A and B are shown apart, each in its own frame.
Chain A
Amino acid sequence: MSFFAISMYIAIWGLVIASWLILYRFIKGPTLPDRIQALDLMSANLIGIIITYATLNEETILIDAAIILSLIAFLGTMSFAYYLINKV
């Protein structure tokens, strides 16, 4: 295993551990905005995992999935925020 592959595996495991830490806030979070925030950050982590995997295996088609995921994450955050504003 080359130096580059070891670095990519370390990066993927770092992002997975970050997702576990965010999952703690997602479960515990006292209010609904905390959970929305955790969901936003977890989608960013998922984009990072996809890009790192595409870099490791040189599957360039997965970069398109990262573009779509960033679009969907922004739409989800905005719709949750409008739900919170119009609920009261």
Chain B
Amino acid sequence: MISFIADIASALSVLIGTGFMLIAAIGIIRMPDFYIRMSTITKATSLGIGFILLGATIHLNSLEIILKAAAIITFIVITSPVSAYIIAKAAKKIHVPFWKNTDVDEYLESEEAPYNPRKKKES
């Protein structure tokens, strides 16, 4: 009976993680802009890997697996925002264009702005 409940919890957790990964994969196709896609995939990836590892930990049920899963989760939670930040910075540096509806007031005040969409609309 206990193992049946553990199986149900493990399968449910892995399926929730798969759902988050599918949401990330749909978001990387449907979202209109590079920066919005970056925001979508970073959160969904952390949650998806976390839930899948939680399911594996419940099913395999040993101390070794718990430590390795904790190592993977810690590493992904640390490195995923760092890599998202550095790719967004690189993309801004090589002038990847924004979406037309993005509110860019603070960005236009800085000196690195590549273009001004509002002036293009007025002229």
Interface residues of A (CB under 8 A from B): 2-4, 7-8, 10-11, 14-15, 17-19, 21-22, 24-25, 31-34, 36-38, 40-41, 44-45, 47-48, 51-52, 54-55, 58, 60, 63-64, 66-67, 70-71, 74, 77-78, 80-82, 84-85, 87-88
- Can you offer 24 A-B residue contacts whose CB atoms are under 8 A? A2-B7, A7-B11, A10-B15, A10-B18, A11-B14, A14-B15, A14-B22, A15-B18, A15-B21, A18-B22, A21-B26, A31-B94, A33-B94, A37-B87, A38-B28, A40-B41, A41-B41, A55-B60, A60-B62, A66-B72, A77-B86, A81-B87, A81-B90, A88-B94
Chain A residue nearest to B7 (CB atoms) is: A4
Provide the residues of chain B in CB contact with A4, threshold 8 Å: 7, 10-11, 59
Chain A residue nearest to B21 (CB atoms) is: A18
Selected contact of A37 from candidates B15, B26, B41, CB within 8 Å: B41
Chain A residue nearest to B14 (CB atoms) is: A11
Residue of A31, A45, A55, A66 with highest tally of chain B CB at under 10 A: A55
Report Cα–Cα, A46/B10, bound state, in Å. Answer: 19
